[in-house]
Amino acid sequence: MGVAEYKVVSKGNGWSVLHDGAAANDYASKEAAFESAVAAASLALREGHEIHVSVPGRDAGNRTTLGVKE
């Protein structure tokens, strides 16, 4: 099996999950994107893949903890 990588990235005014070179979906918060990435990673884990999930800290996006305007 291969490695499944999920990277939460800032996208415009929101967030997305980069996987296999594509960031297809948009999320309002970094937390929502993370939850989506973990759900996808869970399925890949069941298929036997090594999993990598990364999420940027406060310094990314609009510099708030969850990446949304406060």
In a domain, 49, yes or no: yes
In a domain, 70, yes or no: no
Alpha helices in 1-70 (DSSP H): 30-46
Query: What's the total number of domains in the chain?
Result: 1
In a domain, 62, yes or no: no
In a domain, 48, yes or no: yes
User: What residues make up the domain containing 16?
Assistant: 3-54
In a domain, 60, yes or no: no
Question: pLDDT value at position 62?
Answer: 64
Question: pLDDT value at position 55?
Answer: 94
Question: pLDDT value at position 12?
Answer: 86
In a domain, 17, yes or no: yes
In a domain, 65, yes or no: no
Question: pLDDT value at position 61?
Answer: 62
In a domain, 19, yes or no: yes
β 14-18/3-11 pair status: antiparallel
Tens of pLDDT, residue by residue over 9-55, are 998 889 999 999 999 899 999 999 999 999 999 999 999 999 999 99
Question: pLDDT value at position 70?
Answer: 64
